[in-house]
Amino acid sequence: MAIIETEAPLHEAHRDNHTHRDVNGGWLRPAVFGAMDGLVSNLALMTGVAGGTAGQHTVVISGLAGLAAGAFSMAAGEYTSVASQRELVEAELDVERRELRRHPKDEEAELAALYVSRDVDPGLAREVARQLSEDPEQALEIHAREELGIDPGDLPSPLVAAVSSFGSFALGALLPVLPYLLGASALWPAVLLALLGLFLCGAVVAKVTARSWWFSGLRQLALGGAAAGVTYALGMAFGVAVG
């Protein structure tokens, strides 16, 4: 008598190739974009000051001030944003937790109705909802994911967000200043290093997108270079006007 397997094995090609990129970007995306933000903003600031015929000392001080101000601003803004979002989520979770405690059958029926709306057989939907609702914490997690689109066990940390934003922005903003700190007396080494950094950041971003590394790198290089060029021209115009 032949034995019929109830579960067919996955096709080898499907098993080996059916993987996806991290569409949320994980830590890489915010870190790289924080560094690019620091690079573009500080490069633009320094070229704008240099365009106004300011001396080397003024350009360096402007770059260091831009680094510090931008990094602290990013950290404070990120901390406040993530903390506020987390507090909102926790408040909604408390509402859901109370409803599960006070009206468990209504919440179970709500979950079953959700599965039915997704074309699950009504009897099966009620049984799945019943089993999932036996554990209060599991029920909370399921309702949070289905109704709020969040994972209660994976809420972002405001402190981690603030520290990572501060570090990545400061690292990016340091690149245009670094040649001056190492003894350079002209603007062009700072611009070259910053543009190289922008290209590398854009290439790294390609790891979380479908674009090729050279396209992403050149795109970021062009955008950063345009920002630096515009602020340099504005600096020259303002310098002439004020002078």
Confidence of residue 143 (pLDDT cuts 50, 70, 90): confident
Contact 35, 172 (CB under 8 A): yes
The percent of residues above 70 in pLDDT, for the chain, comes to 85
Better-predicted residue by pLDDT, 242 or 128: 128
Better-predicted residue by pLDDT, 7 or 142: 142
Better-predicted residue by pLDDT, 183 or 147: 183
Chain-wide mean pLDDT for the chain? 85
b/e 154-192 (16+ beta carbons within 10 angstroms → b): eeeebeebbebbbbbbbbbbbbbbebbeeeeeebebbbe
> Is the model's pLDDT at 30 over the cut of 90?
no
Q: What is the separation, in whole angstroms, between the first and last Cα of the chain?
A: 98
> Is the model's pLDDT at 36 over the cut of 80?
yes
> Is the model's pLDDT at 91 over the cut of 90?
yes
Confidence of residue 40 (pLDDT cuts 50, 70, 90): very high
Contact 129, 113 (CB under 8 A): no
Q: What is the mean pLDDT of residues 140-164?
A: 87
Domains of the chain: which residue ranges?
Answer: 27-235
pLDDT of amino acid 6: 45
pLDDT of amino acid 23: 46
Q: What is the mean pLDDT of residues 152-171?
A: 90
Among 40, 15, 48, residue whose Cα is nearest residue 224: 40
Write the pLDDT tens digit of every residue in 7-29.
Answer: 555 555 545 554 555 444 445 66
